[in-house]
């Protein structure tokens, strides 16, 4: 068995990160295809589906610029897979607000407990607001270390309950 190598210096960490970036470029994934399969299962409107596909397209194409500006970022595949998971697991309904609705009205609807419980997103029909709303509805999952195995399962169930 090979020992686990951990980079200790900045140069070694940078080299490891560059290797991951190179391999991630070789391992091209069809995230738009995965998204299309997910939204085919959901009861989203045509406008919502188009908005989700547009958001994903912009996320994929603008990642290089984003990573140049913000030095410490997740890998592109991690960000896109996280967003796919949010759409697939944490979100059941996406409602696009009418242009006549004010931002305050939408915020009041979005903050209610019923919206979180129903896993429903209400947002203006633009990509920036949609991605912000999706990250806000994401369900945080708690993990208890293995050393507390006696109470681990019950504590995880308690902490991971939705409000």
Distance CA 121, CA 155 (A): 28
With bands split at pLDDT 50, 70 and 90, how would you rate the model's confidence at 20?
Answer: low
What pLDDT is attached to residue 16? 56
Residue 79 CB coordination number (10 Å): 17
123-162 pLDDT, tens digit each: 888 888 888 888 888 777 777 788 887 888 888 777 777 5
Q: Considering the entire predicted model, what is its pTM? A: 0.66
Q: Is there a contact between 79 and 59 (Cβ–Cβ < 8 Å)?
A: yes
What pLDDT is attached to residue 28? 54
Beta strands in the chain (DSSP E): 93-96, 120-123
68-122 pLDDT, tens digit each: 888 788 888 888 898 998 899 888 888 888 777 777 777 776 665 557 778 888 8
CA angle 72, 73, 79 (to 5 degrees): 170
């Amino acid at each position: 068995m090979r020992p686990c190598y951990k980079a200790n210096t900045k140069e070694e960490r940078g080299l490891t990160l560059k290797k991951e970036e190179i391999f991630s470029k070789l391992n091209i994934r069809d995230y738009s295809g995965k998204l299309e399969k997910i939204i085919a299962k959901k009861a989203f409107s045509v406008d919502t589906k188009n908005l989700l596909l547009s958001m994903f397209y912009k996320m994929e194409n603008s990642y290089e610029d984003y990573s140049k500006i913000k030095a410490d970022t997740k890998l592109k595949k991690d960000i896109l897979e996280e967003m796919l998971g949010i759409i697939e697991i944490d979100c059941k309904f996406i409602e696009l607000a009418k242009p006549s609705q004010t931002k305050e009205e939408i915020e009041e609807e979005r903050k209610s407990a019923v919206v979180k419980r129903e896993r429903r997103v209400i947002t203006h029909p633009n990509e920036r607001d949609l991605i912000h709303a999706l990250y806000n509805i994401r369900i945080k999952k708690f993990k208890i270390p293995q050393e507390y195995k006696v109470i681990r399962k019950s504590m995880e169930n308690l902490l991971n309950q939705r409000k």
